Amino acid sequence: MLPALRFLLLTCCFCLPAAASAADWIHWRGPEQNGFSRETNLPADFDPAQKEKGNVVWTAPYGGRSAPLVMGGRVYVLQGTGSGLDESEQMVCVDEKTGKPLWTYRVGVFHTDIVSTRLSWAPLTGDPETGYVYAQTTGGLMLCLDTAGKLVWQHSLTEEYGRATGYGGRIPAPIFDSGLVVVGMVSSSWGDFARGTNRYVAFDGKTGKVVWWHDTANPGKETYCSHPVVAVINGQRLLISGGADGYLHAIKLRTGEKVWSYHFCNGAANGAPIVDGNLVYATHGDDNPEGGPYGRIICVDGSQVDANGKPKLVWEFRKSVRFGLASPALAEGKLYAPDDAGDLHCFDAKTGKPHWKYRYANEVRGSPLVADGKVYIMDVQRRMMILTLDKDRTKKPDELDTFEYRFKEPKGIYSETNGTPIAVNGRLYFVSAGTLWCLGTPGAKPAAVKYTPLPAEVPFKENAVVGARLFPADVVARPGETVKFEVVYVDANGRTVKDNRPSPPATWSIPLPPKTPAGAQPPALAGEVQGGALTIAKGPPTQQGYVEFAEGADGKGIKARARVRVAATVPWTQDFEKAPVGSSPGGWVNANGKFTVVKLPDGNLALMKNNNDPRPPLAKANTFFTLPDSANYTIQADLMGTQVRGGMADFGLINSRYALVLDGKTDPDSKQRQVRLVSWEARPRFTKVVDFDWQPDTWYTAKLAIEHKEKTAVVRGKVWKKGDPEPKEWTLEMEDTYPNRVGSAGLYGYVTNSTATETGAHAYYDNIAVTPDKK
pLDDT digits (tens, 9 = 90+) for 575-630: 999 999 999 999 999 999 999 999 999 999 999 999 999 988 889 999 999 999 99
Higher pLDDT, 22 or 159: 159
Q: What is the percent of the chain with per-residue pLDDT over 90, rounded to a whole number?
A: 79
1-15, 246-260, 475-489: range with lowest mean pLDDT: 1-15
pLDDT at res. 442: 87
Amino acid identity, residue 404?
E
Cα 276 from Cα 134, distance rounded (Å): 26
Query: Is pTM beyond 0.85 here?
Result: yes
Per-residue pLDDT at 12 exceeds 80: no
- Average pLDDT (134-144) is 96
- In which band, very low, low, confident or very high, does the pLDDT at 4 lie, cut at 50, 70 and 90? very low
pLDDT band of residue 418 (cuts 50, 70, 90) is confident
Least confident range from 103-107, 272-276, 603-607, 613-617: namely 613-617
Whether residue 150 is predicted with pLDDT greater than 90 in this model: the reply is: yes
Phi, psi of 431 (to 5 degrees): -120, 140
More confident residue, 53 or 734: 734
411 confidence band (pLDDT: 50, 70, 90): low
Distance separating alpha carbons of residues 593 and 596, to the nearest angstrom = 7
pLDDT at 1 over 60: no
Q: Worst-scoring range by mean pLDDT, 598-602, 663-667, 714-718?
A: 663-667
pLDDT-derived band at 121 (thresholds 50, 70, 90) equals confident
- Widest Cα–Cα separation across the chain: 83
Taking each continuous run of H as one helix and of E as one strand, the counts in the chain are: 2, 57
Whether residue 275 is predicted with pLDDT greater than 50 in this model: the reply is: yes
In this prediction, residue 564 carries a pLDDT of: 97
Average pLDDT over every residue of 120-136: 95
Residue 289 · residue 310 · CB < 8 Å:
no
Per-residue model confidence (pLDDT) at position 312: 98
Percent of the chain with pLDDT over 70: 96
Please compute the mean of the pLDDT values over residues 545-563 and round it to a whole number.
92
CA distance 67 to 551: 47
Give the mean model confidence (pLDDT) for residues 532-544. 94
Predicted local distance difference test score (pLDDT) of residue 413: 62
Lowest mean pLDDT across 3-7, 596-600, 724-728: 3-7
**Lowest-pLDDT range, 202-211, 386-395, 462-471, 596-605?**
462-471
pLDDT value of residue 52? 66
**What is the average per-residue pLDDT within 347-371?**
95
Label residue 179 by pLDDT band (50, 70, 90): very high
pLDDT band at 5 (very low <50, low <70, confident <90, very high): very low
Calpha distance 684→673 (Å, rounded): 19
Answer yes or no: is pLDDT of 569 > 80: yes
Do you find a cis peptide bond into 338, omega within 30 degrees of 0? no
The order of strands in the sheet holding 132-136 is 125-127, 132-136, 141-145, 151-156
pLDDT in the model for residue 11? 35
Whole-number average pLDDT of the chain: 92
Q: According to the model, what pLDDT value does residue 345 have?
A: 97
Beta-carbon count within 10 A of 308 CB: 7
What is the rounded average pLDDT of the residues 528-549? Answer: 95
- Return the pLDDT at 412: 61
What is the SS3 string spanning 411-457? CCCCCCCCCCCEEECCEEEEECCCCEEEECCCCCCCCCCCCCCCCCC
